Amino acid sequence: MRRLIALACLALAGAIAPVAARATVTHPYVGLTLIEEAATAPRPIKTHVLQVDLSTPGIRLTLTPPAGPRETMRQTTVDFVKDVHAQAGINAHFFLPFPSTDTAAWLIGLAASEGRVFSACETPEQNYALVANAPAINIDRWNRASAIRCGAAANLWTTVSGSAQIVTNGRVTVPAYRDAEHPDGALTPGGPRNYTNASSWYGAVNARTAIGVSRDGRTLTLFTVDARGGSEGMTVGEAAVWLVAKHGVWNALNLDGGGSTSMALADPATCAVSLVNTSSDNPAGRSVASSLAIYAHAVPRLRR
């Protein structure tokens, strides 16, 4: 059993308690709640949270489908949402090759798009950051969401995997590096910056993307925090605490972040799709290997 570093939620929650936080809550589509918040602690940050009520009629999700000579073809999250005529979307899997101008990509970890499983459990080479056989979030064809272990029997329909499960049963869980104190750590020390438990890849402050599920599996939470445009980003642990303390997340995964972090939304009035967040890559967002798109009905207009 993998040993995880269980962070002290209350202590961390106090460390990132928003100072003069400003939150804006809107309901752009039926079943979708957009929460945009600015805070000055743990440093200047801007978060964007899209909560999806999976029990709402008309809600449907889809993942970038398999295509091309590898597993998927890269495109921005904005372009994917446009192409599938969805209402919102977020970037998802880590991918290879990267960095590269090649548009054909391999996804890292389990992936399914409308019931087609096309990326399997794996032990990635980037084992200083990505755990082997990482858990996934699966939304089945009946819109029931759950965190699943890689390889476990499940009704795979729309399935997303990340680097690790960072919230488990309401507790913040960030993977440890194997060392004398953590012989069962899920990560291998090393990598481009010689990562260890004293200087973890998960402890870097960066733009972040995460996906979470409520305890009853009825609410899907999509999270981004920027590292540009007046926001300095978060560590993975800080993002996990934010999800638990502020948004009631029970299980969550860390998805591809940094320049890949993208949240797209179609304007309810014009249907024009644009980024909600400020990309660290370029104004249009990075071309990524997978995005998760959400379909939802328009909010009925009141008759005069």
Q: Measured at the alpha carbon of residue 120, what is the angle toward residues 118 and 124, in degrees to the nearest 5?
A: 130
pLDDT, position 151: 81
Fill in the DSSP letter of residue 180: S
If one compares 150 and 63, the residue with the highest pLDDT of the two is 63
Indicate the pLDDT class of residue 21, thresholds 50, 70 and 90.
Answer: low
301 — pLDDT class (breaks 50, 70, 90): confident
CA–CA gap between residue 40 and residue 276 (Å, rounded): 20
Tell me the CA distances in angstroms from 282 to 126, 181, 230, 260, 273, one per residue in order: 25, 41, 15, 10, 16
- pTM, 2 dp: 0.92
pLDDT value of position 19: 44
Closest to 60 measured CA to CA, from 145, 148, 153: 145
Percent of the chain with pLDDT over 70: 92
CB neighbours of 282 closer than 8 A, spacing ≥ 6? Answer: none
The beta strand positions in 77-144, using DSSP E, are 88-91, 95-96, 104-107, 111-113, 116-119, 136-139
Q: State residue 291's pLDDT score.
A: 98
pLDDT in tens, 129-138: 999 999 999 9
Q: Which of 76, 150, 70, 133 is nearest to 106 (CA)?
A: 70
| 108 neighbors 96 (Cβ within 8 angstroms) | yes
Of residues 189, 172, 156, the one with CA closest to residue 241: 172
Each residue of 59-116: pLDDT tens digit? 999 999 999 999 999 999 999 999 999 999 999 999 999 999 999 999 999 999 999 9
Whether residue 175 is preceded by a cis peptide bond, meaning omega within 30 degrees of 0, is no
How far separated are the first and last CA of the chain, in Å rounded? 61
Mean pLDDT across 8-34: 69
Q: What is the pLDDT of residue 6?
A: 39
pLDDT at site 303? 66
For residues 222 and 21, the model is more confident at 222
Looking at residue 15, what is its pLDDT?
Answer: 45
Q: Minimal CA–CA distance to 262: which of 271, 270, 273?
A: 273
Q: What average pLDDT does range 36-62 have in this prediction?
A: 97
